């Protein structure tokens, strides 16, 4: 990890998961300086999630013990597990890794890209808890600022991310979020996503108490969570599989193809199914109705499967309906999205190397379309090579490597499509009724959104204006996809259109935001003691600015 601040870096990588770490590795290996921003408290992304420690991160025993392997590609001279150190980039002096860093604003225009981010004090790498700081990063066009790449870091400087950092390329490696499973009662406390159950295991070594866990939904991750929780001493009372009947059969030709291209993936799936059967976890499929009950928290889940009713008491209900690219930053930057031909999900448009619709912006890993962790490592490396090429110019050997890697990534992604084919997203009203919440933050129901559509709200942004759906604190992170699904399924309209994203991306204190602005090129040191103004803690500016909304 860098011990000096990056007043100028070659590349900013957002996200320290498998893709972002691989990009940072490739670039730093070639001498480029990288600012690696990550929102989480420790590197590794969701798959490599671990507890934080004073040395930056803890080598958590769980990954190996519970089959949660760190991402990496096999290399002959690597550690005993035959995998390269996925965290190699963090040890290079040219990489400045900033955990707990949340991007709150980003603008892309002719002048370049400008990013504003804040780093929480509790995970300040310097170890001094002094308050949250807001920083600005400017990504300037390379040609207008030739000195950017030649500026040198002063090793005598202490750790001090400057208020205004400049860079020449931006790589978004923001990963995936889970597709919400929408059903009556889904907002009750005690209902957590499959990813949240993994987070509890990987970061806090917690499992649901015996007799208390029911899982509902579909997708490989749900099976993996059932297996991991069981191995860690937990017990799954029932697995309620919501996948459409016959989907596996229809996806069989793809599965056979995948068997050749991605044998590890298919073997892992088969292993999970065998393991769940051996553990005797009751699997209930062909579900027509699903509902969670409880007063203060989830207490019971009921439904109907194969024409018969079922009911389970539960203290924790784990839900999952597949994963989606996290496009929050992509939409804020105004990059172009397109529909995935199989899932119909909105996916950033990018070429085989991850180059987005904006120059100098690349997208690596699941954030550019779901491919999984092993592929995210390759896509991260590919984006790294492409950025390297853009910084140093074309080179025959480099171009060849990029081409080979791009071809490999494309064919492996194609092979993986059987996963999407065998787990098609559910119709939004499969379990939900008119009173079911669609937008958690603003408590907007499915019925209210339907009424808005009937009244002429023709797109997601109009529905937002009519109903406040997507206008709450999460800024549509959760409801943008169910809203899109509802709109497509009730109007038949499937051209790509999406909820606009407004700054700030995450809550930020107005006073911190303004302080960063006024800092500009001054010598303001954000790592020093916070100003008295910061201590006064002005009201949080959490709501997106929708006054600027100009629906057309």
Partner 1 sequence: MPAYRSDLPFVPAADRAAREHDTVSFEVDGEVLVARRGETIATALLRHGRLAFGPHPVTREPVGPLCLMGSCFGCLCEIDGRPGSQACLEVVRDGLIVRTRIDT
Q: How far is the CB of 60 from partner 1 (least distance, A)?
A: 9
Sign of dihedral through CA atoms 526, 532, 533, 539? positive
CB 111 within 8 A of CB 505: no
If the CB atoms of residues 357 and 437 are measured against partner 1, the closer one turns out to be 437
| Tokens coding 493 | 């309209």
If the CB atoms of residues 316 and 364 are measured against partner 1, the closer one turns out to be 316
Q: How far is the CB of 537 from partner 1 (least distance, A)?
A: 5
Cα gap 136→212, rounded to integer Å: 46
| Tokens coding 262 | 């991605």
Q: How far is the CB of 46 from partner 1 (least distance, A)?
A: 6
| Tokens coding 374 | 């092993």
Residues touching partner 1, count (CB under 8 A): 66
| Tokens coding 540 | 């949080």
Q: Is 141 in the site for partner 1 (CB under 8 A)?
A: no
Backbone φ and ψ of 380, nearest 5° = -65, -45
If the CB atoms of residues 52 and 107 are measured against partner 1, the closer one turns out to be 52
If the CB atoms of residues 184 and 234 are measured against partner 1, the closer one turns out to be 234
Using CB under 8 A, pick the residue from 195, 254, 322, 380 that binds partner 1. Answer: 195
Cα gap 518→134, rounded to integer Å: 11
Region binding partner 1 by CB under 8 A among candidate stretches 39-47, 136-144, 148-156, 371-379: 39-47
If the CB atoms of residues 222 and 386 are measured against partner 1, the closer one turns out to be 222
If the CB atoms of residues 331 and 506 are measured against partner 1, the closer one turns out to be 506
If the CB atoms of residues 184 and 384 are measured against partner 1, the closer one turns out to be 184
Binding to partner 1 by CB under 8 A, coded x per residue (else -) over 459-498, reads -------------xxx--xx--------------------
Q: Is 233 in the site for partner 1 (CB under 8 A)?
A: yes
Q: How far is the CB of 464 from partner 1 (least distance, A)?
A: 15
Q: How far is the CB of 310 from partner 1 (least distance, A)?
A: 21
| Tokens coding 190 | 């005690």
Binding to partner 1 by CB under 8 A, coded x per residue (else -) over 91-110, reads ---------x-x--------
If the CB atoms of residues 353 and 437 are measured against partner 1, the closer one turns out to be 437
If the CB atoms of residues 166 and 477 are measured against partner 1, the closer one turns out to be 477
Q: Is 238 in the site for partner 1 (CB under 8 A)?
A: no
In the numeric block, the tokens 């957590």 are attached to 192
The packing angle between helices 446-454 and 460-467, to 10°, is 110
CB 86 within 8 A of CB 50: no
Interface positions, 520-539, toward partner 1 (CB under 8 A): 537, 539
Region binding partner 1 by CB under 8 A among candidate stretches 76-84, 87-95, 115-123, 214-222: 115-123
If the CB atoms of residues 192 and 501 are measured against partner 1, the closer one turns out to be 192
Binding to partner 1 by CB under 8 A, coded x per residue (else -) over 498-517, reads --------xx-x--------
Are β-strands 361-363 and 437-439 bridged in parallel, bridged antiparallel, or unpaired? Answer: unpaired
Interface positions, 425-454, toward partner 1 (CB under 8 A): 440-443
Cα gap 501→545, rounded to integer Å: 9
Give the CB-side neighbour count of residue 269, counting CA atoms within 13 A: 15
Closest CA to 213 of 228, 195, 229: 229
Q: How far is the CB of 456 from partner 1 (least distance, A)?
A: 25
Q: Is 256 in the site for partner 1 (CB under 8 A)?
A: no
User: Residue 205: how many CB atoms within 10 A of its CB?
Assistant: 12
Q: How far is the CB of 502 from partner 1 (least distance, A)?
A: 15
If the CB atoms of residues 198 and 356 are measured against partner 1, the closer one turns out to be 198
Interface positions, 56-75, toward partner 1 (CB under 8 A): 58, 61-62, 65
In the numeric block, the tokens 């499973």 are attached to 181
CB 352 within 8 A of CB 364: no
Q: Is 122 in the site for partner 1 (CB under 8 A)?
A: yes
Q: How far is the CB of 66 from partner 1 (least distance, A)?
A: 8
Cα gap 274→268, rounded to integer Å: 10
Question: Which residues contact residue 103 at a Cβ distance below 8 angstroms, ignoring those fewer than 6 apart?
Answer: 14, 37, 39, 115, 116, 117, 329, 505, 506
Closest CA to 141 of 114, 106, 162: 114
Using CB under 8 A, pick the residue from 7, 94, 177, 327 that binds partner 1. Answer: 177
Cα gap 126→342, rounded to integer Å: 46
Question: What DSSP assignment string belongs to 32-68?
Answer: --EEEE-SSSSSSTTTT-----TTS----SHHHHTT-
Give the CB-side neighbour count of residue 429, counting CA atoms within 13 A: 13
Q: How far is the CB of 84 from partner 1 (least distance, A)?
A: 25
Q: How far is the CB of 546 from partner 1 (least distance, A)?
A: 16
User: Residue 141: how many CB atoms within 10 A of its CB?
Assistant: 14
Tell me how many degrees the CA angle 97-336-333 measures, rounded to the nearest 5.
Answer: 45
In DSSP terms, which residues pair with 292 in a beta bridge? 301
Q: Is 51 in the site for partner 1 (CB under 8 A)?
A: yes
Interface positions, 289-318, toward partner 1 (CB under 8 A): 296-297, 315-316
Q: How far is the CB of 53 from partner 1 (least distance, A)?
A: 5
- For residue 125, the Cα-to-chain-centroid distance in whole angstroms is 23
Q: Which residues of the chain form contacts with partner 1 (CB under 8 A)?
A: 39-41, 46, 51-53, 58, 61-62, 65, 100, 102, 120-123, 129, 132, 177-178, 187-193, 195-196, 199-201, 203-210, 212, 232-234, 296-297, 315-316, 326, 440-443, 472-474, 477-478, 506-507, 509, 537, 539-540, 542
């Amino acid at each position: 990890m860098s011990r000096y601040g990056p007043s100028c870096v070659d590349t900013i990588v957002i996200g320290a998961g498998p893709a972002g770490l691989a990009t940072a590795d490739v670039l730093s290996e070639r001498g480029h300086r990288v600012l690696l921003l990550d929102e989480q408290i420790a590197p590794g992304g969701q798959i490599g999630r671990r507890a934080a420690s004073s040395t930056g991160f803890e080598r958590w025993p769980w990954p190996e013990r519970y089959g949660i392997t760190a991402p990496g590609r096999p290399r002959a001279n690597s550690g005993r597990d035959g995998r390269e150190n996925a965290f190699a980039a963090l040890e290079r002096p040219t990489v400045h890794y900033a955990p707990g860093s949340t991007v709150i604003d980003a603008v892309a225009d002719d002048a370049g890209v400008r990013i504003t981010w804040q780093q929480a004090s509790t995970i300040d790498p310097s170890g001094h808890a002094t308050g949250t700081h807001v920083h600005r990063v400017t990504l300037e066009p390379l040609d207008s600022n030739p000195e950017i790449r030649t500026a040198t870091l002063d090793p005598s400087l202490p750790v001090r991310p400057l208020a205004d950092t400049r860079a020449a390329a931006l790589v978004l490696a923001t990963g995936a979020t889970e597709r919400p499973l929408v059903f009556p009662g889904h907002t009750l406390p005690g209902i957590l996503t499959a990813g949240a159950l993994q987070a509890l295991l990987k970061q806090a070594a917690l499992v649901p108490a015996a007799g208390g866990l029911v899982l509902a939904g579909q997708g490989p991750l749900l099976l993996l969570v059932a297996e991991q929780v069981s191995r860690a001493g937990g017990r799954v009372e029932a697995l309620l599989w919501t996948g459409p009947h016959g989907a596996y059969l229809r996806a069989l030709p793809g599965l056979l193809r995948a068997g050749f291209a991605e044998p590890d993936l298919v073997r892992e799936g088969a292993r999970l199914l065998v393991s769940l059967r051996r553990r005797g976890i009751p699997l209930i499929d062909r579900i027509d109705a699903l509902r969670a009950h409880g007063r203060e928290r989830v207490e019971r889940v009921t439904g109907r499967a194969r024409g018969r009713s079922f009911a389970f008491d539960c203290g924790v209900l784990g839900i999952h309906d597949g994963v989606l690219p996290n496009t929050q930053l992509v939409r804020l930057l105004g990059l172009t999205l397109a529909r995935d031909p199989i899932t119909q999900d909105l996916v950033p448009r990018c070429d085989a190397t991850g180059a987005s619709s904006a120059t100098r912006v690349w997208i690596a890993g699941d954030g550019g379309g779901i491919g999984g962790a092993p592929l995210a490592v390759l896509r991260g490396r590919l984006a790294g090579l492409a950025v390297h090429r853009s910084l140093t110019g074309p080179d025959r050997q480099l171009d060849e490597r990029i081409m080979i890697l791009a071809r490999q990534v494309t064919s492996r992604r194609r092979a993986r499509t059987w996963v999407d084919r065998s787990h098609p997203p559910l119709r939004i009203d499969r379990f939900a009724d008119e009173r079911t919440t669609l937008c958690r933050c603003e408590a907007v129901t499915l019925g209210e959104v339907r009424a808005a559509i009937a009244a002429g709200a023709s797109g997601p942004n109009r529905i937002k204006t009519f109903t406040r759906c997507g206008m709450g604190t999460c800024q549509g992170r959760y409801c943008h996809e169910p809203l899109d699904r509802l709109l497509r399924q009730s109007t038949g309209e499937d051209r790509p259109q999406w909820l606009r994203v407004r700054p700030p991306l995450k809550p930020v204190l107005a006073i911190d935001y303004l302080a960063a602005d006024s800092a500009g090129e001054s010598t303001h040191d954000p790592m020093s003691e916070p100003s008295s103004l910061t201590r006064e803690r002005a009201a949080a500016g959490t709501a997106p600015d929708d006054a600027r909304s100009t629906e057309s």
